[in-house]
Chain A
Amino acid sequence: MLQETVTIIAYAFISLLVITIYGLTLNGLVMKIVARVHGRFGPPLWQPFIDIIKNNAKRTMIYHGTMFFLGPVFRIAGGIGTYLFIPAIHGSEVFANFSFSGDLLLVMYFFFFGQLGMALGAGESGHPYSAIAVSRGLAQMTAFEVPFALSVISLAIQYQTLSITGIVSAQQGGILHWTVFTNPLATVAALIALLGMNMHSPFDIVLAPQEIPIGPPTEFHSAYLGLLQTNRAIFNLAKLVLFMNLYFGGATNILILIIKTFSIYMLSVIVGVSFPRFRTEQSIRFFLGIPTILGILAVIFQKL
């Protein structure tokens, strides 16, 4: 019993460590790619690691209240929670995490958990830009959740299960078994929702660096910011791994996981470097338009 518990905890730590390092490297790589698009050299690949060390090495921290402390904690709890309930590699014991038969619903809940905690923390910091960005973020989140939820409902009807492991198993046995080929409408709706989730242009209305610098984390500094940056890597990867599992057949080893998550992320990056930022109402109307219709069609076609 004790040995099993220790093994499970050790596996969770290994899984989390690998994904954090990969996530931070991916962030560095994307900074590099964006810089090359701009015609610059860009920061070194390991810049996110140095930034996190530097932020944690700051000697002073300011206190704004209890929720201000708890905001980053909730955020990273949301990130780790999301990741640890998604089976990252199909059939692997180390990367199976804490997947169980209803995990898809729990994961969709955890997506919101961190952002709601962060909204409370940013609210207590008292900065006006934080309040503006929180209202923008929650509005946009509600909007892109509609096509994503419809897409997940369509998948639940298609595979008759709410278990991510079950959905991945059903897609094994060849590239044409992937959801992207068996249910393209749901995939397109969810990938458009992913653009909103990843907060790259044109949907970066929350951080909006030149407009409301820089949104919810305006007052967060030192180790708070270090936590938020670590979460950014973990949560980002959790989303990508979930999308890989749901729509692109999952992964059977770490190399395939890296290739697939990188390719899915490139969608956001390519769209991000190509388009300028939407205004808030444009972004919300966009998600409630064509992506939602695609999601509804995906559900209808599955029920036919």
Chain B
Amino acid sequence: MLKNQENQPQKLANAGLPEHEKYLFCDARPRIRHPFKGFWEKFLNWARANSIWMLAYGTGCGAIELRPLMTARYDVFRYGIAPRPTPRQSSVIIIGGYCSVKTLKRIIRSYEQMQNPKFVLALGSCTINGGMYWDSYNTINRIDAYIPVDIYIAGCMPRPEAIIAGFKKLKQLIKSGKAEGANLYAENFDWYKANQKKIIKDWNMPDYNW
């Protein structure tokens, strides 16, 4: 269950920013947004499940599988899934395979700019345990320690059919009200931040990218 956040400090330090830039950025903590109860939330979840906008940001080699998804062969538009070029408007971010440290920073920025409720789909074995890059010096092994993942799609690379199956599973999760990744992120914010800052050495962005 979602915890109450009253005991935590409400302001973020934004220690990575230079002093003269701090006033430019928001220092509020992300908060848990409790879902409605009963029929109304079920209706809204139905709408969320049938209108999934994915962020068109290819974070790794898996992004190559997203092109046939959108074109005539596999056509995900018929399931209400559409690409969206800006994180503000999208509800799903797809981690396409291996995630280098440099990309992780961009993934965090994009993920935090998305609006609650937001979902994460992780493709390929690299996102689960590092895959063939498990001992590489500049890729991370488990994306789950940095942002909350809703669905993993195993494979190297997963075929477009597998990705469609993953989307269907995600829809079931959303409809049953279990895809509360954004609230999970807000609840365990300090843990996620500590993990992220352990990997990203040049942290020159605000603690939460509103």
Contact = CB atoms under 8 A, between A and B. Distances in A.
A binds B: yes
Interface stretch (B42-50, B100-108, B143-151, B187-195): B42-50
Contacts of A62: 88, 115, 210
Interface in B67-96: 71-72, 75, 77-78, 80, 82, 84-86, 88-89, 91
Contact of B80 (A47, A55, A217): A47
A24 to B, nearest CB: 13
A43 B115 contact: no
A229 to B, nearest CB: 10
B31 to A, nearest CB: 9
B88 A218 contact: yes
- Interface SS of chain B: helix, strand, loop or mixed? loop
A51 B46 CA distance: 11
Contact of A50 (B71, B80, B117): B80
B116 interface: yes
A54 interface: yes
B51 interface: yes
B33 interface: yes
A214 B75 contact: no
A174 interface: no
A218 to B, nearest CB: 5
A222 B182 CA distance: 15
A58 B117 contact: yes
B88 A221 contact: yes
Contacts of B85: 209, 213-214, 218
- Interface SS of chain A: helix, strand, loop or mixed? loop
Contacts of A214: 84-86
A42 B50 CA distance: 14
Interface in B154-183: 182
B86 A58 contact: no
A284 B75 CA distance: 35
A41 B117 contact: no
B78 A42 contact: yes
A257 to B, nearest CB: 29
Interface residues of B, number: 26
Interface in B107-141: 115-117
- Which of B35, B86, B89 has the most chain A CB atoms inside 10 A of its CB? B89
A20 B164 CA distance: 32
B156 to A, nearest CB: 28
A60 B51 contact: no
A62 B33 CA distance: 14
Given A42-B77, A209-B85, A220-B88, A51 B117 contact: no
A62 B87 CA distance: 12
A256 interface: no
B48 A54 contact: yes
A303 interface: no
A47 B115 CA distance: 20
Contacts of A53: 44, 47, 51
Interface string A33-52: 00100111111100100110
Interface of A: 31, 35, 38-44, 47, 50-51, 53-55, 57-62, 209, 213-214, 217-222, 225
Given A44-B78, A54-B91, 15 more contacts: A31-B77, A40-B75, A40-B77, A42-B75, A43-B78, A43-B82, A53-B47, A53-B51, A57-B44, A58-B116, A61-B115, A213-B86, A218-B86, A220-B88, A225-B89
27 contacts: A31-B77, A41-B78, A42-B77, A43-B78, A43-B80, A44-B78, A47-B80, A50-B47, A51-B51, A53-B47, A54-B48, A54-B50, A55-B89, A58-B116, A58-B117, A59-B35, A59-B117, A60-B33, A61-B115, A62-B88, A214-B85, A214-B86, A218-B85, A218-B88, A219-B88, A221-B88, A225-B89
Interface of B: 33, 35, 44, 47-48, 50-51, 56, 71-72, 75, 77-78, 80, 82, 84-86, 88-89, 91, 115-117, 182, 210
